[in-house]
Structure 1
């Protein structure tokens, strides 16, 4: 009976989504299976190339800075040129730049190409999220974003293990392998994914011409959401920047840190789909408040951890928050975005995470060095509280009609066509 129930739950979790979504999902999975640079860059520079930890940190920051820059540019491209062309440009240029990075030896060249890799690898995210919003019905979007997030973590878990063995043999092979798999993503997009960008009528073009980056910046409610997203992202970034440093100061090895943080990937792979089924039609305002507070205090509890088991327990707490927050937050961004400005809005949202990845290492380093790790975890708890209060204050004032949409009520949807056509919903012809 449990097996039958599990099978039925799995079928319900994946049923009803369009074919185009699954090709996009496949592209995401392939991309994350090839993740090598982001995982092993620091080890490559310090162990293989013999550079200092400070230089490795500089390169990591430049990689993050490239992501900040490209988030906005790619968002504009997704709206102006289309989702499909943006994905093709981003993925082919990522493949080229990653392969090039593997052959760089001069420190200035490595830093410059790492910045380029950060730009190109991050450029596909606004287009992916905008395309997903285009082709999936509103009531299914939280589930779709959750499945995509699950693919990201599944691919990353597999690639981390495989890439570790590859790195022992040849770092260059890892760079070339990521380049090949990223190029395979571009092939999937080229062969299987039609353009999904909605086509505007003459009236819509006149009224919607003002959807520019300035429009996004003047959207106070949305920019407040971006600000809260940045706060939450600062908390989650401590899993890769503050946590390993703090554990190292407590006398734990890198293997110990790996064991503790591996709980995060395992829980996401195991729980993402069933938890999404539980939260799919629940009030996103409450979910964002709860997940923000849970994330903050999950990291806050790290101050009391003194063994690998206790560290793993804190990882369990903030992983649950991550599982709830990721699809809910992305779905909220879609709901607050005008149809013909989804790329720009998603680009601004993506930038909040890129900016957090850039600032979090500096934040954790300063706090740990000058005040101690306990203050870092206390800061995380405070940030989680601030974010939770922010969501409560911001979303409780939404108009009644907006609240209804956020609760999951059906809204007009633009489906990507299987064959070239322009239907009543304004779907663009496939390219």
Structure 2
């Protein structure tokens, strides 16, 4: 008689929970970027377009941060890179809050982007070093912790912002120091030993990797769509007569829904086709942020946030594990850095595109462009599905991903070999 046991879900190592603590602490105290447009327009007196450009400067620094963080993660280790990022963030965020001239604000904004995101590719590489069966849960835990912190940050920061924005910068700096202490005490090094990791150059490998390039470009467009809402939503709500506290409360719904729903999403989506989940999620984000551009009431804004948050959850469940499955073992840190750079590119392009479109074409045009972009992203991600399935299967079985270009119906060409 054979007894069939239910599959046991592998326990996550302490590394994941330590990384989750850093994500929570840094995000709970890191509300400056979410309120940066309001700080620049209301306290520094900048125009919305100039404020959007300053937010984009943070994105410029972030692009360099992701690439640098991935490179450092492979060279000096994941742990040291995260420490450098959090301590550098402390200095940069204080400099931004102290800057009172436009050139100083620009320079500090770039520095904030360069330092704030340095830990992301290193932390992602540490998770990518785990066995494939643990990755989706591990990335899900990090995303959950980040958004629990985000919920705390938006509610408390919205209340504090009514009395001035200066305190937000100091809280952000203290949180970065606290995150560095957690890394120092609790995060071990996971970088594979050099003798087991043949040295590979990123650029020659990357330029031949058409799937990786296509996935990164697609996600640059997605993050541009998604992140423009953090520059346009506060402007839209301010124009409708809503104050910072109301904006903070509506934005907090994003984090609350993620905290409540993301663990369930990992269970529901963990066994699904990643490309399909990503495609549908991008479509939902396009619909949600498009609706948010034209609704006026708080209830309507909350509904739009709910829709794009559900799409955001789907992206987050699959994003890290999908790119980890694409990456060669010797280039995990750098591949995760390039993947994370898509987020930073969107953080640069989104505020610029969103504020320019809002100011010069109006809210209806912004809504239409967002909806059409979501549809185009859905089609593009679906088109990449067969190649993505072939590559992932090849990596899991430690086989070269040959003939992936000729895959039909999502089935690896070597399946019957």
Q: Please name the residue that 2:405 is paired with.
A: none
User: 1:49: how far off?
Assistant: 4.2
User: 1:245: how far off?
Assistant: 3.5
TM-score by length of 2: 0.85
Does the alignment pair 1:145 with 2:139?
yes
Structure 2 gap segments, 5+ residues each: 1-7, 400-417
User: 1:296: how far off?
Assistant: 1.8
User: 1:168: how far off?
Assistant: 5.2
- Counterpart CA distance in 2 for 1:367 and 1:309 is 24
Does the alignment pair 1:124 with 2:119?
yes
Residues 376-409 of structure 1 deviation map (CA, whole Å, 9 limit, x = unaligned): 2222222112111112111213464x35368xx6
For residues 369 and 59 of structure 1, do their structure 2 counterparts lie closer, same or farther at Cα, with a shift above 3 Å needed?
A: closer
- Counterpart CA distance in 2 for 1:70 and 1:82 is 15
Q: Please name the residue that 1:349 is paired with.
A: 339
Does the alignment pair 1:102 with 2:97?
yes
Instruction: Return the match for 1:299 from 254, 272, 289.
Output: 289
User: 1:88: how far off?
Assistant: 1.3
For residues 278 and 133 of structure 1, do their structure 2 counterparts lie closer, same or farther at Cα, with a shift above 3 Å needed?
A: same
Residues 294-331 of structure 1 deviation map (CA, whole Å, 9 limit, x = unaligned): 22223344466453323322222221111111120221
Structure 1, 288-297 or 359-368: larger mean CA deviation: 359-368
Q: Please name the residue that 1:380 is paired with.
A: 370
Q: Please name the residue that 1:187 is paired with.
A: 181
Q: CA RMSD in A?
A: 2.7
Q: Please name the residue that 2:110 is paired with.
A: 115
Q: How does 1:78-227 map to 2 (within 5 A)?
A: 78-134=73-129, 136-167=130-161, 171-201=165-195, 204-205=197-198, 209-227=199-217
Instruction: Return the match for 2:13 from 18, 43, 58.
Output: 18
- Counterpart CA distance in 1 for 2:156 and 2:179 is 19
For residues 243 and 53 of structure 1, do their structure 2 counterparts lie closer, same or farther at Cα, with a shift above 3 Å needed?
A: closer
For residues 99 and 303 of structure 1, do their structure 2 counterparts lie closer, same or farther at Cα, with a shift above 3 Å needed?
A: closer
- Counterpart CA distance in 1 for 2:147 and 2:35 is 16
User: 1:169: how far off?
Assistant: 5.5
User: 1:116: how far off?
Assistant: 1.0
- C-alpha contact 2:284 2:374 (8 A) present in aligned 1: yes
- Counterpart CA distance in 1 for 2:241 and 2:163 is 29
Instruction: Return the match for 1:404 from 368, 378, 393.
Output: 393
- Counterpart CA distance in 1 for 2:181 and 2:307 is 39
TM-score by length of 1: 0.82
Q: How does 1:231-242 map to 2 (within 5 A)?
A: 231-242=221-232
User: 1:95: how far off?
Assistant: 1.4
Structure 1, 117-126 or 372-381: larger mean CA deviation: 372-381
Instruction: Return the match for 1:67 from 62, 67, 76.
Output: 62
Residues 29-70 of structure 1 deviation map (CA, whole Å, 9 limit, x = unaligned): 111121032133334344444555454334322222111122
For residues 321 and 199 of structure 1, do their structure 2 counterparts lie closer, same or farther at Cα, with a shift above 3 Å needed?
A: same
User: 1:242: how far off?
Assistant: 3.0
User: 1:336: how far off?
Assistant: 0.2
Structure 1 gap segments, 5+ residues each: 1-11, 413-431
- Counterpart CA distance in 2 for 1:259 and 1:361 is 21
Residues 1-53 of structure 1 deviation map (CA, whole Å, 9 limit, x = unaligned): xxxxxxxxxxx99x710011111111111111210321333343444445554
Alignment length (residue pairs): 392
